[in-house]
Structure 1
Amino acid sequence: MSRPLLPSGRRHGLPFVVPDDWTPEQALAVFELLDDLLAIVTDHYGAQLHELLREQRSSAAGARTRERDPPF
């Protein structure tokens, strides 16, 4: 059985488990930290990330189309 995909699509790397005994306040603190990190990275790299994601998605879509095309 394969491990579930993360939003990034990665299957390998260090496993990370969120403890199930966090308080709502602890979960909120982590959520806010990640939200702040996302905002900072997006502010700094937003245009570059957008372009890279566009390229990756168009390449993946093209590959899927080529796989379905008959070989003649």
Structure 2
Amino acid sequence: MSRRTPLPSGLSCGLDFLIDTNWSPEQALAVYELLNDLRTRIWLRYGEDVIELIRRQRWPAPNLGDINDLSEPI
């Protein structure tokens, strides 16, 4: 089994996406620009929702069960 490059999404399984090693720099730039434009469009439409979802997933609410307990932590 080969080691996979970590992805920003955190995904570690699924289908590999192979990039042809024979792409020209122009082809690579075209794909890069397409993805960048797609990212911009998604951000313009869903940016606030994405921020809120990331906040909830990565920074869950603290446990406030003992909020009234003012004693020193152990």
> Does the alignment reach a TM-score above 0.5?
yes
TM range (shorter): 0.7 to 0.9
TM-score (norm 2): 0.72
Larger radius of gyration: 2
Amino acid at match of 2:7: L
TM-score (norm 1): 0.74
Partner of 2:16: 15
Q: Per the alignment, in what secondary structure is the counterpart of residue 59 of structure 2? A: helix
Superposed CA RMSD: 1.9
Structure 2: 5+ residue runs without aligned partners? 63-73
1:43 aligns with 2:58: no
| Paired positions, count | 61
Partner of 2:68: none
Structure 1: 5+ residue runs without aligned partners? 63-71
Identity %: 46
Instruction: String of CA shifts for 1:26-50, please: whole Å, max 9, x gaps.
Output: 0000000000100110001000000
